[in-house]
Amino acid sequence: MQPYITETLEQSRYLLTLLLQQGQVAFFEAWRRYTVMLAETYTDNPQEVDRRLMALASGFMAILFEGRTESIIRGQLRISDEFIHEPTLERKFDRFISVITPFIEEQIPLSTELSLTSRVALYLKLCELRELRSLTVPSLAKRFDYHPDHFTKKIKGATGSLPSDLISTEKLRRATLLIKSKAGGKNLKEISISVGFQDYAHFRDLVKRHLGRLPSEL
């Protein structure tokens, strides 16, 4: 997996976060800015645009269908088949977003009637890495207008897990992705710090406990 795939996964996450938190206008404006950047940067290299869009599609599918490998692959194939043969960049971009939108609308509910646990799960899945890195239980509770103690009690009662465990699990998931992608040539300690684990020994033990392997074995 190339580093740019990790970059586009973060772009996918950023776009979905905008959609969830600010609505469709913000989502489509960010999408427009992204396509302008691609068009300006890769004017003479449409194959690179295709690679970037395919990585973006993979990012969307990985987030929307987390853990559902068949759905991820099926979605990737459908989206790439729709845009990759379009003759111009503008038509590629238009076709891509027209095909990806139904997937998003089906999988990311925008209703404010979602339960607290569902909203927290969506937030953790979609928040950018820089935000996840510094996330604490008090800051997460504040985001949902709860006192930390009350927030912890509700999450524990609904999921059986503490909010701190949910945060750690998401950090481990992101770290695993970064390790497998060899993102930016970072070593294991640098990756652990990048997702918010300052103590590498603690990070290594968590990976071993949750995944059954050491970070170097991923």
DSSP class of residue 84?
T
Q: Write the CB contacts of 90 (distance below 8 Å, at least 6 apart in sequence).
A: 39
Q: Where are the alpha helices (DSSP H) in 88-147?
A: 89-107, 116-126, 129-133, 137-143
DSSP class of residue 216?
G
Domains for the chain: give ranges and CATH numbers: 3-107 (no CATH), 116-217 (1.10.10.60)
pLDDT per residue over 3-56, tens digit each? 455 677 788 888 888 887 777 888 899 999 999 999 999 988 888 999 889 988
DSSP class of residue 206?
H
Confidence bin at 1 (pLDDT 50/70/90) = very low
pTM of the model: 0.61
Q: Which helix (H) or strand (E) holds 167?
A: helix 163-181
